[in-house]
Amino acid sequence: MRLIGLIVALIYVLTSFSADAQGTPRVGWIEAGSRSANQHFLDAFRQGLRDLQYVEGQNIVIEDRWADGRAGRFPDLLAELIRSKVDVIVVASTPGATAAKRSESLTPVVFWGVSDPVGIGLVASLGHPGGNITGVALGTEDGLSGKWVELLREAVPNATRLAVLWNPGARGLELRVKELQAAAATLKLKPYAFEVRSVTEFDGVFNAISKTHVGGLIVMVDPLTLRNRERIVRLAAQGRLPTVYGFSEFARSGG
């Protein structure tokens, strides 16, 4: 996973300058999802550290925390790690990185899985983030959501309508949805945006999608949709909807 490799490189730099008196860097890790669903992210992170000769229990300490798909947990998890005096914090998702910014802690923070970090005011620029926060953006700022529409058009050339499933509470996604809608219009596809804010809404939303008779579906990724990817994949399959997903985790869940 190249994303994890980039994060590990950043951790390597940060911890080189902030190790404790015993020379053992302590890294705090906060994942947006649950341990049961997203353990593979932490496993990949540990492997990346081992590739850099950092072996947990020998010359590095990792304190992991899990938000379980609930964005409201980030402030408390961050405060807990800051109190434990970790040298650097790795935090996943836009809500997690935003919470880290609001904490006003001087602890270095590395984010990943963030949409539009410049646009939401997380960093000054991609090249020169400034402050104590840096990381890796999702890359959707570069027209990726428009490419998803093109892929769907290639897969279903006779489609005239498409559905977009997204969480309006996820910061940074609104611009991506607008970009996607513009791309759909260019390809003469009529987009229908369906909002989902909680796990209890998925069944109803997919029922509404089925009534629009769309030719395909694009799922925008945030902690809510990622955590519930198995349900989304199952509902899309039941509706026989050709679907484009933003993360490979959906494919590994059967998408």
From 217, 207, 76, select the one nearest 151 (Cα to Cα): 217
Sequence-separated (6 or more) residues with CB below 8 Å from residue 227: 32, 33, 34, 37, 38, 68, 69, 199
Q: Does the pLDDT value for residue 1 go beyond 50?
A: no
- Please tell me the predicted confidence (pLDDT) of residue 214: 96
Q: Looking at the structure, do residues 132 and 209 belong to the same domain, yes or no?
A: no
Structural domain that includes position 230: 141-252
Contact by Cβ (8 Å): 61, 85:
no
Q: Looking at the structure, do residues 165 and 47 belong to the same domain, yes or no?
A: no
Q: Looking at the structure, do residues 22 and 99 belong to the same domain, yes or no?
A: yes
From 159, 163, 232, select the one nearest 202 (Cα to Cα): 232
> Of the candidates 113, 138, 163, which is a domain's last residue?
138
In sequence order, what are the beta bridge partners of 64?
29
Q: Looking at the structure, do residues 164 and 245 belong to the same domain, yes or no?
A: yes
Question: In which band, very low, low, confident or very high, does the pLDDT at 6 lie, cut at 50, 70 and 90?
Answer: low
The domain spanning residue 6 has which CATH number? 3.40.50.2300
Q: Looking at the structure, do residues 118 and 149 belong to the same domain, yes or no?
A: no
Range 209-230 average pLDDT: 91
> Of the candidates 75, 104, 138, which is a domain's last residue?
138
- Amino acid at site 184: A
Mean pLDDT value across the chain: 86
138-172 residue pLDDT tens: 655 557 788 899 999 999 999 999 999 999 987 77
pTM of the predicted model as reported, rounded to 2 decimal places: 0.70
- Please tell me the predicted confidence (pLDDT) of residue 45: 87
181-192 residue pLDDT tens: 999 999 999 999
Q: Looking at the structure, do residues 133 and 187 belong to the same domain, yes or no?
A: no
Q: Does the pLDDT value for residue 242 go beyond 80?
A: yes
How many distinct structural domains can be found in the chain?
2
Q: Looking at the structure, do residues 88 and 55 belong to the same domain, yes or no?
A: yes
Q: Does the pLDDT value for residue 43 go beyond 60?
A: yes
Task: Compute the Cα dihedral for 103, 104, 109, 115 and give only its sign.
Answer: positive
